[in-house]
Amino acid sequence: MNKEHAGDDAAAAARHARYGRLPERIRFEEMTGGVEAEPSGGVHASYDPQGAWKYYSCLALDLGL
What average pLDDT does this structure show over 25-30? 89
Residues for the chain: how many in total?
Answer: 65
What average pLDDT does this structure show over 45-60? 71
Fill in the DSSP letter of residue 27. Answer: -
Of 4, 50, 1, give the one whose Cα is nearest residue 12: 4
How high is the pLDDT of residue 56? 66
CA atoms within 13 A on the CB side of 53: 3
Indicate the pTM of the whole model.
Answer: 0.29
